[in-house]
Amino acid sequence: MIEKAAGRILGKLLAILLAGVSVNVAQAAEPEGIPPELVAEYIHAVIQVDRSIYSTHVVEQLQDRKVAVAAEDWKEKGALPLPAQLLQMAGQEVQGLGLGLHIRLSSLGPVYTKNGPVDQFERAGLEAVAKNPRKPYTGIITERDRRYFKAIFADRAVSMACVICHNRHPLSAKRDYKLYDVMGGIIISFPVR
């Protein structure tokens, strides 16, 4: 229930943002256009704020009070989804809106292989943000005769829930994460003309 509501809210916010700038993205050469880099920054800001609020004000507080826990198998346990799972679910909800907007998490050392880089652009971007987390890796890619702006932002361990989950997970390639370490990337892509 929580994940669907959060996913819908994030999806609607991103849809409004993207719909409001999609015409201008196509006209990025004109003075009033919004460059795709800035659109990606806006989308990333919304994602980061929502994720931080969920991680610290929902997951951590409810766990500290022993009211609820976040767990990878949250459906079976009647628990809260992990912050990374909530972001992935929101990305699926956004994709379902049909705007061409895609949001997902990826890592060079993912817990599950499906969350690894899908191409050389993503691999290079994940390597770049691991070295310089303050600068997103961006570019224009073409998929099925359609051009997309793609941005990869550093994905940091924003709460102890992230650190504990990755350090204890039996499939984790790394078990010494600390708070705010780069764990991978948040990948945002959307169509441009």
The predicted pLDDT at position 93 comes to: 96
Residue type, 50: D
* Residues 5-27, mean pLDDT to the nearest whole number: 47
Instruction: Evaluate if residue 3 carries a pLDDT over 60.
Output: no
Report the C-alpha gap between 141 and 162 in whole angstroms. Answer: 30
- Read off the DSSP letter of residue 56: I
* pLDDT per residue as tens digits for the range 52-107: 899 889 988 898 899 988 888 899 999 899 888 999 999 999 999 999 999 999 99
Q: What six digits make up the tokens of 78?
A: 């009647």
Domain count, the chain: 1
The predicted pLDDT at position 13 comes to: 46
Instruction: Tell me how far the alpha carbon of residue 102 is from its chain's centroid.
Output: 9
Q: What six digits make up the tokens of 149?
A: 């702006």
Residue 7 and residue 93 in contact, taking contact as beta carbons nearer than 8 Å: yes
Supply the range of the domain harboring residue 145: 2-191
The predicted pLDDT at position 55 comes to: 87
The predicted pLDDT at position 28 comes to: 45
The predicted pLDDT at position 2 comes to: 52
Residue 154 and residue 182 in contact, taking contact as beta carbons nearer than 8 Å: yes
Range in 59-63, 124-128, 135-139, 153-157 the model is least confident about = 59-63
Residue 189, beta-bridge partner list: 102, 150
Instruction: Evaluate if residue 179 carries a pLDDT over 70.
Output: yes
Q: Indicate the pLDDT class of residue 22, thresholds 50, 70 and 90.
A: very low
Instruction: Evaluate if residue 117 carries a pLDDT over 70.
Output: yes
Q: What is the pTM of this model?
A: 0.80
Instruction: Evaluate if residue 26 carries a pLDDT over 80.
Output: no
The predicted pLDDT at position 32 comes to: 63
